[in-house]
Amino acid sequence: MPMNNPFDNPAFSMSALSTAINILPNNYGLMDQMNLFPAKPVRFRQISVEEKNGVLSLLPTLPVGSPGTVGKRGKRKLRAFSIPHIPHEDVVLPEEVQGIRAFGMESELQSISNVMVEHLQTMRNKHAITLEHLRMGALKGVILDADGSELFDLFDEFDIQPKVVDFKFTNTELDVKKVCIGLKRHMEKMLQGEFMTGAKCLVSSEFFDALTGHAKVEKAYENWQTGNALRSDMRNEFTFAGITFQEYVGEASDGTVTRRFIEQGEGHAFPLGTVDTFATYFAPADFNETVNTLGQPLYAKQEPRKFDRGTDLHTQSNPLPMCHRPAMLVKVTMS
């Protein structure tokens, strides 16, 4: 008589596993910590974005026969974006669960669940760093795939000229404060009905060192937080002329090449405290159970392998980070 498969238990259903993987802690993601790209679930795998006066507005994809959304008069452009589909798979082998016995008050099912959680956590970490990479792309206005190929260029799609500000740090007389104020004024000019509470700039290590070591900034950096910079590692944040600069050394690998999220000597400035400038749209998974449901950040599912030689794990995410006002994004360079 064949033994019962412990993974047939409802505790390992698609709904239960998806709930579990979404509860697991996120080990990667400055964007997630800042809540810069809040989640906005959608029911379809494609969204339409309307551009008017440099502002992108989301339009829902509707079933055939539904009345269309009404657009405002004026010059506008419309483009459909397919939400990226990111599947990932793993396997739980029989050796990992055989011989598991109850220990103390722990049941056998709980022990097997621990094995499942270990796999789900590893898979979640991979999805998390992938989402961080996509969100950093949206923060730059150019969303890239894992291999560095271009998915969406928001500037090209809507004929928006990207703003680049060059900090000429080699000039010891450079008025860095004036350059920063000019950068912030550009953002404020491009608000287009939005509002902001501040500005932040994620920069490479090279840029951060050049900024804080510049003759016009060094004294202010030393006095930052009443001299804490002399005693502590202050690379986390440094506010100067209304812009908070933060060193960001995030990077990820596609298995062969490791890519920095911010290139050497560069940085990317963006507004803080906005209402709807940034968002991450999550589409539902391509399962029968999830058709026409609101998308979740992550999904997980399992099924027995052929001849019951283990259990296959499938996770997927369908995210599209979006900046609705790419004209506000500013790239900074140093020379």
Give the percent of the chain with pLDDT over 90. Answer: 52
**Neighbouring residues of 63: CB distance < 8 A, sequence distance ≥ 6:** none
Query: What backbone torsions phi and psi does residue 125 show, to the nearest 5 degrees?
Result: -60, -40
Query: Rounded distance, CA 253 to CA 215, Å?
Result: 37
Flag the least confident range among 96-105, 111-120, 217-226: 96-105
Q: Over 70: is that where the pLDDT of 28 sits?
A: yes
Look-up of token digits 């008589």: 1
Q: What is the DSSP letter of 229?
A: G
Which pair of structure tokens corresponds to residue 36? 């810069």
Query: Rounded distance, CA 80 to CA 59, Å?
Result: 9
Picking from 205, 133, 131, 207, the residue whose alpha carbon sits closest to that of residue 168 is 207
pLDDT per position as a tens digit, 37-77: 999 999 988 888 887 776 777 765 555 555 555 554 445 67
Query: Rounded distance, CA 111 to CA 107, Å?
Result: 6
pLDDT per position as a tens digit, 241-285: 999 999 999 888 877 888 899 999 999 999 999 988 999 999 999
- Structural domains of the chain ordered from first start: 6-152+276-322 (3.15.30), 162-275+327-334 (3.30.1930.10)
Determine the pLDDT at residue 103: 47
Q: Over 60: is that where the pLDDT of 314 sits?
A: yes
Which pair of structure tokens corresponds to residue 219? 């004294």
**Chain mean position to CA 122:** 18
Determine the pLDDT at residue 203: 97
Q: Over 90: is that where the pLDDT of 310 sits?
A: no
Q: State the Cα torsion 284-309-20-314 to the nearest 10°.
A: -20
Tell me what the pLDDT averaged over the chain comes to: 85
Query: Rounded distance, CA 303 to CA 284, Å?
Result: 20
Determine the pLDDT at residue 153: 95
Q: Over 60: is that where the pLDDT of 316 sits?
A: yes
pLDDT per position as a tens digit, 198-237: 999 999 999 999 999 999 998 888 777 455 545 555 557 8
Exposure string of 84-108, with b = 16+ CB inside 10 Å and e = fewer, is: bebebebebeeebbeebeeeeeeee
Which CB contacts under 8 angstroms, 24+ apart, belong to 90-96? 90/119, 90/122, 90/123, 90/312, 90/313, 90/315, 91/305, 91/310, 91/311, 91/312, 91/313, 92/7, 92/116, 92/119, 92/302, 92/310, 92/311, 92/313, 93/310, 94/309, 94/310
